[in-house]
Copies of this chain bind each other. A is one copy, B any other.
Amino acid sequence: MSSYTAPLKDMQFVLNELAGLGKVAALPGYEEATTDVVEAILDESAKFTGGVLDPLNYSGDQEGAKWADKSVTMPKGFKEAYRQFVDNGWNALSGNPEHGGQGLPKVVSAAVQEMWKSANISFSLCPLLTLGAIEALELAGNDAQKAMYLPNMISGNWTGTMNITEPQAGSDLAAIRSRAVPQGDGTYRIFGQKIFITYGDHDMAENTIHLVLARTPDAPEGVKGISLFVVPKFMVNADGSLGERNDVYCVSIEHKLGIHASPTCVMVHGDNGGAIGTLVGQENQGLKYMFVMMNAARFAVGLEGLAIAERAYQHAVAYARDRVQGRAIEGSASGVAIIKHPDIRRMLMLMRANVEAMRALAYSVAAAHDAAARHPDAAERAQNQAYVDLMIPVVKGWSTETGNEMSYLGVQVHGGMGFIEETGAAQYMRDARITTIYEGTTGIQANDLMGRKIAREGGATIKAVLGTMQQTRSELAQQAGAEFAAIAAALGRGIEALQQATDYIVANYGSDVRAVAAGAVPFLRLMGVVSGGWMMARAALAAQGRIAGGDADPFYPAKIATAHFYADHVMAAAAGLAQEVVQGGASALKLDEAMF
């Protein structure tokens, strides 16, 4: 089994050269995020994730979370690792300083969180949900709720959950039926069953704070009648100590394909009189709060795709160096390490190039998020927010689909050993499989991208992004050498394909939404492929700048070679994807439903 080594060099390169960490650190409130401080944080995070979380990844998968007597017991070592995680302050990294957080920008926490997810995605889901619940309370909680919950949640002493899904209400939240009955004392009693609740119960923290969607008695039908409640596992007394056990219990956990160490709970509220909760924000505004949180959660799941691909890549490289099999195809040597075989090399390059592209895109979106939140200039804030809104479904949808493909390739590099669970490669593939589903399937991301983010505004933001991509292409054209010529040509073709597909969407969404929507996922993939190619082109330019400045670090030529590979092998798909979007609507919908 290989060990996880955080890719610090590429992370630093992306942060500094592509995501503009310097500019983020110039924003009000982020002054502490200097290059030196960030480097120190990432170094510490690399040690913690490689030394503590990664060693529990396989054992956690094999043992799995266990349920008995309405309680979940985590696999061996998780409780201790979580204690260390909290004690080292990792959970508080991005938290609001008013409640004990360190207030670091999202672009920094993105890099740190990528490490958690690479090392142990099952573990990482616990803080992911806690951070989501914190965001909900920050956004809409009242002062009393904030004071009661936030300090312990930001530290990580208490964890959080999102109680959203019900058996009949998955992607469609309009179908939620859980009820919240006001008690006249400012509290509500919650009744209902929730499914797929990540870390709904566990033994790593003393309290769990559930954010729950439910309907009040006179709420309107559909999504306009959903309210958000906070329901603690243990009631919290006025002095902050824990009180009675609340009437919310985990009645079973799921038997899943992957993320075995992450308990996926069926939660029952109110089987014994009602779970006591308080309203978060205003009645019937629950969905609005959820959508704000959801953007953060979708970004975080996109990081999972990147992170698993990185881990699968490292695992595959280690095996490919070590495994001796066959002779070189050019016939000069027998008994060679398989990394010498051209097809193995192609697979490793594909993993590497996609990982680097996904990382660059994700961190650039995180940096834009920071600028959207803190830039003194309103126009800058708006422009950055538009970029974030456009790219969130791409980071989520494209990175998770790509993460699946890359972990699939990771198995392939291992040959027969890849199919044996002890090898570990299969776990990454199993774990990755949920990422294109939860927090909105790829289809839902693609509809969001096409409908809300492009068609609704006539393609204004994406056209601006295409303009920026064109600038990058012009810069590439000024570089010498075959590699830059290939990168420039591929980016040019990619921009053209994306432009063509965008024009088609803007022109036809209103008149034939079904046909356009049949191309939503190919469009999302196109958008990911080309955005990733743009990021790799920017990376190649930055690397060339360092080389031109006399830097002899082999990292820089390797970056250019990887960008060149991406241009040849990944960007090659762009025109075909555009063709699917523009041409494929009618044939996708033609077949009569009865004929399937």
Q: Which residues of chain B are near A35, meaning CB under 8 Å?
A: none
Residues of chain B within 8 A of A326, CB atoms compared = 171-172
Q: How far is the CA of A565 from the CA of B412 in the complex (A)?
A: 29
Judge whether A584 and B596 touch: CB under 8 Å: no
Knowing A415-B170, A420-B254, A518-B345 are in contact, say whether A561-B591 is a contact too (CB < 8 A).
yes
- Bound state CA distance, A487 and B421, in angstroms? 43
Cross-chain contact B433 with A411 (CB below 8 angstroms): yes
Q: How large is the interface on A (under 10, 10 to 19, 20 to 34, 35 or more residues)?
A: 35 or more
Within 8 A of B (CB), among A432-459: 433-434, 436-438, 441-443, 446-447
Which of B256, B327, B521 interacts with A346 by CB under 8 Å? B521
Chain B residues near A165 (CB-CB < 8 A): 416
Looking at the assembled complex, report how far the CB atom of A168 sits from the nearest CB atom of chain B, in whole angstroms. Answer: 8
B257 engages A330 (CB within 8 Å): no
Tell me if A214 counts as interface (CB < 8 A to partner B). no
Residue from B257, B346, B575, B576 in contact with A430 in the complex, judged by beta carbons closer than 8 Å = B257
Nearest CB in chain B: distance from A167 CB, A: 10
Question: Chain B residues with Cβ under 8 A from A321's Cβ?
Answer: 593, 596
Q: A170-B325, A592-B558 are in contact. Are A196 and B521 (CB under 8 A)?
A: no
Binds B, one of A117-125, A280-288, A296-304, A334-342: A334-342
Query: Chain A 337-375 against B: per-residue CB contact (8 Å), 1 yes, 0 no?
Result: 001111111101100100000000000000000000000
Please measure, in the bound complex, the distance between the C-alpha atom of A520 and the C-alpha atom of B341, giving whole angstroms. Answer: 11
Does chain B have a CB within 8 A of A94? Answer: no
B349 and A588 within 8 A (CB)? yes
Q: Is A37 an interface residue (CB 8 A)?
A: no
Identify the closest chain B residue to A411 (Cβ). Answer: B433
CB of A196 within 8 A of CB of B584, answer no
Contact partner of A575 (CB less than 8 A), chosen from B486, B576, B588, is B576
CB distance B433 to A426 under 8 Å? yes
A567 CB contacts on chain B under 8 angstroms: 587
Closest residue to A584 on the B side, CB-wise?
B568
Q: Which of B174, B317, B349, B430 contacts A334 (CB 8 A)?
A: B174
State whether A329 and B447 are in contact (beta carbons under 8 Å apart), knowing that A255-B420, A433-B411, A520-B343 are contacts in the complex: yes
A17 in the interface (beta carbon within 8 A): no
Contacting pair B588 A521 (CB below 8 A): no
Which residues of chain A from 224 to 259 have a CB within 8 Å of any chain B CB?
254-258
- Identity of the chain B residue whose Cβ is nearest the Cβ of A515 in the assembled complex: B342
**Contact yes or no, A437 B419, CB < 8 A:** yes
Interface string of A560-580 (1 = CB under 8 A from B): 011011011100111111011
Q: Which of A256, A519, A588 has the most CB of B within 10 A?
A: A588
Contacts of A593 in B (CB 8 A): 321, 339-340
Report yes or no: B580 in contact with A572, Cβ–Cβ below 8 A.
Answer: yes
**Shortest Cβ gap from A172 to chain B (Å):** 4
Complex: chain B residue closest to A316, CB-CB: B596
A436 to B412, CA, bound (A): 8
Question: Shortest beta-carbon distance, A153 to chain B, in Å?
Answer: 26
A525: shortest Cβ distance to chain B, in Å? 11
A572-B568 contact, Cβ under 8 Å, with A256-B421, A344-B443, A419-B433: no
Q: Are B572 and A577 in contact (CB under 8 A)?
A: yes
- A408→B576 CA distance, assembly (Å): 21
Tell me the complex Cα distance, A109–B554, Å. Answer: 56
A513 at the interface (CB under 8 A from B): yes
Which residues of the other chain, B, contact A465 by a CB distance below 8 angstroms?
none
Interface residue A133 (Cβ < 8 Å from any Cβ of B) = no
- Once the chains bind, are B580 and A569 in contact (CB under 8 Å)? yes
A541: interface (CB < 8 Å): no
In the bound assembly, the distance between CA atoms of A585 and B569 in angstroms comes to 10
Q: Which residues of B contact A517 (CB under 8 A)?
A: 329, 341-343
Interface residue? A463 (CB, 8 A):
no
- A50 in contact (CB, < 8 A): no
Complex formed: what's the CA distance from A327 to B255 in Å? 29
With A and B bound together, what is the CA distance between A419 and B404 in angstroms?
13
In contact, A342 and B595 (Cβ under 8 angstroms)? no
Determine the distance from Cα of A352 to Cα of B334 in the docked complex, in whole angstroms: 43
Residues of B within 8 A of A433 (CB): 408, 411, 418-419, 426, 429
Task: Give the docked Cα–Cα distance between A583 and B334 (Å).
Answer: 28
Minimum CB–CB distance for A463 against chain B, Å: 24
Within 8 A of B (CB), among A372-430: 404, 408, 411-412, 415-416, 418-422, 426, 429-430
CB pair B562–A584 under 8 Å, yes or no, is no
**Bound-state Cα–Cα, A573 to B346, Å:** 18
- In the assembled complex, how far is the CB of residue A59 from the closest CB belonging to chain B, in whole angstroms? 14
- B443 x A418 contact (CB < 8 A): no
Question: Are the C-beta atoms of A257 and B342 separated by less than 8 Å?
Answer: no
Q: Is the CB of B595 within 8 A of A569?
A: no
Contact A572 B565 (CB under 8 A): no
Contacts of A555 in B (CB 8 A): 595
Rank and list the top 8 A-B pairs by shortest CB-CB distance, nearest first: A343-B443, A572-B576, A342-B518, A342-B517, A568-B584, A257-B426, A565-B587, A172-B326
Q: CB within 8 Å of B: which residues of A?
A: 165, 168, 170-172, 174-175, 196, 254-258, 317, 320-321, 324-327, 329-330, 334-335, 339-346, 348-349, 352, 404, 408, 411-412, 415-416, 418-422, 426, 429-430, 433-434, 436-438, 441-443, 446-447, 483, 486, 513-515, 517-522, 554-555, 558, 561-562, 564-565, 567-569, 572-577, 579-580, 583-585, 587-593, 595-596
Query: What would 19 A/B residue contacts be, using CB atoms closer than 8 Å?
Result: A171-B325, A257-B421, A329-B447, A341-B443, A342-B517, A346-B588, A352-B596, A412-B441, A419-B434, A430-B430, A561-B587, A562-B591, A565-B587, A565-B591, A568-B583, A572-B576, A572-B580, A572-B584, A576-B576
